[in-house]
């Protein structure tokens, strides 16, 4: 059993049920790739920021994001040992307090002894649980983001998933439930077939002349081999010319094309260098949408030039900031 708070004080949330996909995440760590440390962080950072805003944790699209629990596919349970204000966003996972269904995307005040259960996802791969005041944890490289492969981040800084039997320390909530919520039409909307923009890379022209057209014509399926490191796609293999490439730096959203002709898109825990040829890269918003797809869901790509991609991302972040500001205004009025 891992205890991350004083057991005699019984503060925070006891983890009753968990698995390797339940991890502490924030916006990720940056500037450490030269040392071999990847960025990590919440795959759906939009959902993580909204969860934080709902419980009153200040965050801005251009700043850090207080730590949240990223829950992949569900099946987790907690028991409150003190009054705790929480909110759950992201994938549509059944949410229950003391066996009674409650809503996502709103504040929920847990009392000591309350049981919070999150069931298997009905739509979407990842949900985010935030608590008022955040989850304190030691920062490694300026972030508490968990990366299992690199053994960094997480509640104790050792890069471990949140296991059953852990007591997660958090602040006690001493006021009534502020009843802050996000309108239903602004909740995450899952689509089993996603159209996601792709920005062409410098190596694309050298791979195969037909590749740009084929990449946008074909429908790819998310395979069970996908994880936080990368989304491995299935379908009809793409033609790829064998190349001898030196390993080079690789970024979030990069699409690699290995010899089997089936794309791999890098997600938050991607390696810092790679030797497969790259067709291009997704935007951050595209990575978030791709990262919410479940095994068996489909994705289709379309080309987007750099200028339009930058404009699209600016508009996405502007709308997100409007959501965060509206939630903050609700807090001020309350």
CATH number of the domain at 287, please. Answer: 2.40.100.10
Same domain flag for 58 and 182: yes
The token pair at 305 is: 């030039």
* Burial class of residue 70, CB neighbours in 10 A (0-12, 13-18, 19+): buried
3-state DSSP call for residue 290? helix
Query: Which of 158, 189, 220 marks a domain boundary?
Result: 189
Same domain flag for 239 and 285: yes
Closest C-alpha among 298, 286, 324, 265 to residue 53: 324
State the virtual CA torsion across 318, 322, 323, 325 in degrees, nearest 10: 130
8 found inside a domain: no
260 found inside a domain: yes
Residue-by-residue DSSP string for 153-210 = BSTTSB-----TT-EE--PPP-S-----B--GGGS----SEEEEEEEEPTTHHHH-TT
pLDDT of 245:
76
230 found inside a domain: yes
2 found inside a domain: no
55 found inside a domain: yes
333 found inside a domain: no
pLDDT of 6:
39
CA distances from 52 to 57, 89, 257 (A): 5, 9, 36
Looking up tokens 């159209």 gives 195
Note whether 231 and 265 are within 8 A (CB): yes
Same domain flag for 130 and 245: no
Same domain flag for 153 and 232: no
Count of domains forming the chain = 2
**Residue 11's pLDDT band (cuts 50, 70, 90):** confident
For 265, the enclosing helix (H) or strand (E) is strand 264-266
Note whether 24 and 15 are within 8 A (CB): no
Other Cβ atoms closer than 10 A to 249: 10
pLDDT of 27:
97
Same domain flag for 181 and 215: no
**Residue 23's pLDDT band (cuts 50, 70, 90):** very high
Count Cα neighbours of 136 within 13 Å in the Cβ-side half-sphere: 10
Same domain flag for 174 and 203: no
Round to whole Å and give the CA distance between 118 and 98.
11
Round to whole Å and give the CA distance between 303 and 282.
10
Other Cβ atoms closer than 10 A to 211: 20
Give me the percent of the chain exceeding a pLDDT of 90: 85
Same domain flag for 182 and 258: no
Same domain flag for 246 and 105: no
Same domain flag for 219 and 197: yes
Round to whole Å and give the CA distance between 193 and 175.
43
Same domain flag for 241 and 118: no
Same domain flag for 22 and 57: yes
What tens digit of pLDDT does each residue of 280-327 get? 999 999 999 999 999 999 999 999 999 999 999 999 999 999 999 999
Q: What is the mean pLDDT of residues 94-111?
A: 98
What tens digit of pLDDT does each residue of 190-228 get? 999 999 999 999 888 778 889 999 999 999 999 999 999
Give me the percent of the chain exceeding a pLDDT of 70: 96
Higher pLDDT among residues 107 and 31, named by residue: 107
pLDDT at 21 over 80: yes
Q: What is the mean pLDDT of residues 139-168?
A: 96
Other Cβ atoms closer than 10 A to 130: 31
132 found inside a domain: yes
What tens digit of pLDDT does each residue of 126-153 get? 999 999 999 999 999 999 999 999 999 9
Same domain flag for 167 and 257: no
308 found inside a domain: no
Query: Which of 167, 189, 211 marks a domain boundary?
Result: 189
Tell me which residue range forms the domain holding 70.
13-189
By DSSP bridging, strand 254-256 and strand 264-266 are: antiparallel
What tens digit of pLDDT does each residue of 234-256 get? 999 998 876 667 888 999 999 99
């Amino acid at each position: 059993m891992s205890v991350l708070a004083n057991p005699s004080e019984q503060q925070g949330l006891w983890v009753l049920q968990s698995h390797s996909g339940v991890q502490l995440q924030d916006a990720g760590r940056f500037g450490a790739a030269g040392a071999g440390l990847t960025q990590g962080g919440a795959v759906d950072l939009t959902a993580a920021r909204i969860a934080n805003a709902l419980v009153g944790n200040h965050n801005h699209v251009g700043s850090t994001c207080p730590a949240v629990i990223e829950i992949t596919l569900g099946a987790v349970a907690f028991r409150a040992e003190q009054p705790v204000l929480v909110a759950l966003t992201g994938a549509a996972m059944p949410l229950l307090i003391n066996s009674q269904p409650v809503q996502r995307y709103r504040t929920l005040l847990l009392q000591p002894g309350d049981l919070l259960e999150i069931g298997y996802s009905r739509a979407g791969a990842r949900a985010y649980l935030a608590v008022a005041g955040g989850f304190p944890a030691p920062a490694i490289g300026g972030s508490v983001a968990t990366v299992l492969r690199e053994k960094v981040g997480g509640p104790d800084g050792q890069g471990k998933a949140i296991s059953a039997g852990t007591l997660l320390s958090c602040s006690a909530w001493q006021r009534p439930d502020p009843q802050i919520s996000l309108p239903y039409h602004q909740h995450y909307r899952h689509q089993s077939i996603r159209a996601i923009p792709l920005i062409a890379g410098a190596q694309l022209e050298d791979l195969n002349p037909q590749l740009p057209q084929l990449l946008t014509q074909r429908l790819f399926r998310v395979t069970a081999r996908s994880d936080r490191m990368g989304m491995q796609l299935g379908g009809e293999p793409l033609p790829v010319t064998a190349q001898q490439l030196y390993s080079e730096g690789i970024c979030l959203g990069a699409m690699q094309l290995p010899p089997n002709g089936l794309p791999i898109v890098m997600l938050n825990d991607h390696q810092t260098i790679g030797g497969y040829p790259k067709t291009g890269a997704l935007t951050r918003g595209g990575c978030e949408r791709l990262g919410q797809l479940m095994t068996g869901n489909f994705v289709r790509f379309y080309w987007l030039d750099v200028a339009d991609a930058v404009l699209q991302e600016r508009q996405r972040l502007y709308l997100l900031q409007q959501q965060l500001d509206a939630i903050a205004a609700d807090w001020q009025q309350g």
